[in-house]
């Protein structure tokens, strides 16, 4: 770095920090509502609103209520909603077959959203965990090992089912090898040449997903099992770059790092190495930590929320999936 070695008192770093106008002049990063992707949990039924205990302020919503949230996203300039289903235990099976039901919860939600708000982007998660009786993201063998290629075949069917319903972006979050390439090929063959793929490329086996597993009711199914044979070891950084390189080569339009704040070094490395649209997921546990501290009176909600978001931007993220998306966008609008 070519830092000019001018010394005190010629250089007084505090000079530019003195007033709001000069702080604004030299501010390197900004937050806008278009940086936000809002993850929502959905359930069957009408007028359903179910709180999630470890995620204060977040509820599972039935599709009719989801439409009200979508309307607010449009008015606030949030470009895209990410859908996660919580399905009834009676629909969960070892093979997660409900994931490919064309009249399932997700395809119905996609159709309803695209009919009402065609300008709002809709993103769906591709993985089997909300649908499997064992809570894993894929099909398992007799030893509980998650099978790669067999799972990929199911994931392709799931993604095609969402594409047929009109989804704009699919986001495979399962970490199987080779599924981005298989998916891209299937999309091309079936004429879904506009359907975007956001690959959860560097997804770590993280304990920060705890509250999410309650939200999609996969925690009980998963029990004491873990996802270490497919999600990444938190000790590794170089491996994330290999994962991202593979997904780009296989046809991903965007890549993602997950979790977010504890992995900002990975966000930065991915962005610098590949210069592709790079997203981060501020996951459920990160949200829960901030909310819990706020409830205790230990942190200032809005200030911490915005500082965390700015940290993602500074690290190089082009956008962030965050449960704070509505709160952030409302705050930006109030200040405008
Ligand atoms: N395929 C599952 C999936 N998709 C998004 C999340 C986590 C999101 C969050 O914690 O907010 C998970 C959890 C997991 O891998 O167990
Ligand atoms: Mg991979």
Q: What are the DSSP calls for 232-266, one per residue?
A: BPTT-SHHHHHHHHHHHHHT-SEEEEESSGGGHHH
pLDDT for the residue 4: 65
Question: What's the pTM?
Answer: 0.96
Write the burial class of residue 234 (CB in 10 Å: 0-12 exposed, 13-18 middle, 19+ buried).
middle
> pLDDT 10s per residue in the chain (336 long)?
566 678 999 999 999 999 999 999 999 999 999 999 999 999 999 999 999 999 999 999 999 999 999 999 999 999 999 999 999 999 999 999 999 999 999 999 999 999 999 999 999 999 999 999 999 999 999 999 999 999 999 999 999 999 999 999 999 999 999 999 999 999 999 999 999 999 999 999 999 999 998 888 888 889 889 999 999 999 999 999 999 999 999 999 999 999 999 999 999 999 999 999 999 999 999 999 999 999 999 999 999 999 999 999 999 999 999 999 999 999 999 998
> Which tokens sit at 184?
């891209």
Phi, psi of 196 (to 5 degrees): -85, 150
- 258, 271, 291, 313: the active-site residue: 258
Is 221 a pocket residue for ligand 1 (Cβ < 6 Å)?
no
Residue of the CA atom closest to atom 3 of ligand 1: 173
- CA–CA gap between residue 228 and residue 99 (Å, rounded): 23
Bridge partners of 59, per DSSP, are: 51
CATH topology of domain 31-335: TIM Barrel (3.20.20)
313 CB-side CA count, 13 A: 16
For ligand 1, is residue 127 a contact (CB within 6 Å)? yes
The pLDDT value recorded for residue 220 is 81
What pLDDT does 3 receive? Answer: 64
* Nearest one of 331, 254, 250 to 80, comparing CA atoms: 254
- Tell me, in angstroms, the distance from the centre of ligand 2 to residue 137's CA: 14
108 Cα: distance to centroid of ligand 1 (angstroms): 21
Q: Strand, coil or helix: what is 56? A: coil
Catalytic-residue membership of 271:
no
Q: What is the DSSP letter of 323?
A: T
Q: Is 333 a catalytic residue?
A: no
* Burial (CB count <10 Å: 0-12, 13-18, 19+), residue 262: middle
Query: Which atom of ligand 1 lies closest to the CA of 174?
Result: 1
pLDDT of amino acid 2: 63
Choice from 130, 132, 209, 214 to test ligand 1 binding pocket (greatest atom count within 8 A of CB): 209
173 Cβ closer than 6 Å to some ligand 1 atom:
yes
Q: Is 203 exposed, middle or buried (0-12, 13-18, 19+ CB in 10 A)?
A: buried
Residues whose Cβ atom is located within 5 A of ion ligand 2? 243
243 is in an annotated binding site: yes
What's the pLDDT at 227? 96
């Amino acid at each position: 770095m070519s830092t000019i070695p001018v010394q005190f008192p010629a250089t007084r770093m505090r000079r530019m920090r003195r007033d709001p106008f000069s702080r604004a002049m030299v501010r390197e990063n900004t937050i806008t509502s278009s940086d936000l992707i809002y993850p929502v949990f959905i359930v069957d039924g009408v007028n359903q609103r179910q709180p999630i205990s470890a995620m204060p302020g977040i509820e599972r919503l039935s599709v009719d209520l989801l439409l009200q949230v979508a309307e607010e996203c449009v008015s606030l300039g949030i470009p895209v909603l990410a859908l996660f289903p919580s399905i009834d235990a009676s629909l969960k099976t070892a093979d997660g077959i409900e994931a490919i039901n064309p009249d399932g919860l997700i395809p119905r939600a996609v159709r309803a959203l695209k009919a009402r708000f065609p300008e709002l982007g809709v993103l769906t998660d591709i993985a089997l965990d909300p649908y499997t009786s064992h809570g894993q993201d894929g099909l398992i063998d007799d030893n509980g090992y998650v099978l790669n290629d067999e799972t990929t075949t199911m994931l392709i069917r799931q993604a095609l089912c969402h594409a047929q319903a009109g989804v704009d972006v699919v986001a495979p979050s399962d970490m199987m090898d080779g599924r981005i390439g298989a998916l891209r090929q299937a999309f091309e063959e079936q004429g879904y040449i506009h359907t975007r793929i956001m690959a959860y490329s560097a997804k770590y086996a993280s304990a920060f997903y705890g509250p999410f597993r309650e939200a999609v009711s996969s925690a009980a199914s998963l029990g004491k099992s873990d996802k270490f044979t497919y999600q990444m070891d938190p000790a590794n950084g170089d491996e994330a770059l290999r994962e991202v390189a593979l997904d780009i080569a296989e046809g991903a339009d965007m890549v993602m790092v997950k979790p977010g704040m504890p992995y900002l070094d990975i966000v930065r490395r991915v962005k610098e190495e590949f210069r592709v649209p790079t997203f981060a997921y501020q996951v459920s546990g990160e949200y829960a930590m901030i909310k819990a501290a706020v409830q205790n009176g230990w942190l200032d909600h809005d200030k911490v929320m915005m500082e965390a978001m700015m940290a993602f931007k500074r690290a190089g993220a082009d956008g962030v999936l965050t449960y704070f998306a509505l709160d952030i966008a409302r705050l930006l609008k109030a200040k405008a």
